[in-house]
Amino acid sequence: MFETSSHVYIVMELVTGGELFDRIVAKDHYSETEAASVFVEVMSAIDYIHSIGIVHRDIKPENVLYGSEAANAPVKVADFGLGRIIQGSEEEVRHLAW
């Protein structure tokens, strides 16, 4: 977000790969290796947002999006509608989030 005296600009990233949920449903078998890879990426994102005082509060496959349709596309955590900004130490944020 960028703000001037007369405008607020919101910069967003275009992600075109669809939801994690849809990829899981479309596969006959979702391997442990695939799940582990996505899990590590999501937990890395959660660790980052917790470190800056934000909690998501609605992590689910529908809120994890793929950056593109490529099989190895990075995942993005989306939909912070239930999220909150928490004031306090990183340890306090982690405790409140879980």
Mean pLDDT value of segment 76-93: 81
- The catalytic residue positions are 58
Query: Band of the pLDDT at 95, cuts 50, 70, 90?
Result: low
Count CA within 13 A, CB hemisphere, residue 98. Answer: 9
**Which domains, and CATH codes, for the chain?**
15-97 (1.10.510.10)
d(CA 29, CA 34): 10
Q: Is the dihedral of CA 32, 42, 44, 98 positive or negative?
A: negative
Is pLDDT at 91 greater than 70 in this prediction? no
Predicted confidence at residue 92, as pLDDT, reads 60
Comparing CA positions, the residue from 1, 33, 10, 18 lying closest to residue 75 is 18
d(CA 57, CA 73): 24
